[in-house]
Amino acid sequence: MATARERLAQAGVDLLVVCQATPAELARFLQREPYSIPIVCDPARTLYQQLGLTRTGFWSFLRLGEIRTYLRLIARGTWPRWPSTGEDVYQLGGDCVLDHMGNVVWAWRSRTATDRPTIAEILRGLPEG
């Protein structure tokens, strides 16, 4: 069975992370935690808006499911980090698959801060390669 990375290659797509950090903040982060996946900056959150990624409100962080997820992460040793200057803590993320023309062929638009698809869900959304 093909790995997730091999399945991406078979579909003719690759990974790209978009963050809302500034280039300087991203450079500092990558010095501490290097990644093999390309990461680009969108501090104005233009791409977030173009992809239909919405914002949440303060009270969404106090939902029982959110608290439970954060407690599980903390128990595993992953502490939530304080946002950098200019980052919008209320901006929700998402996962999108784009074709070679830049058209969104599959999208998961997070409804809460911890709402993320599984790798299997992302792979099911890939175009056939």
Q: How many domains does the chain have?
A: 1
Domain assignment of residue 17, given as a range: 4-124
Q: Give the highest mean pLDDT range of 13-17, 31-35, 70-74, 120-124.
A: 31-35
The domain that holds 114 is classified in CATH as: 3.40.30
Q: What is the pLDDT of residue 13?
A: 75
pLDDT digits (tens, 9 = 90+) for 44-101: 999 999 999 989 887 777 787 777 877 887 898 877 777 777 788 888 889 888 877 8
From residue 76, give the alpha-carbon distance in Å to each of 28, 38, 62: 24, 26, 20
pLDDT grade for 24, boundaries at 50, 70 and 90:
very high
Q: Is residue 46 part of a domain?
A: yes
In a domain, 129, yes or no: no
129 pLDDT band (50/70/90 cuts)?
low
Is residue 38 one of the residues assigned to a domain?
yes
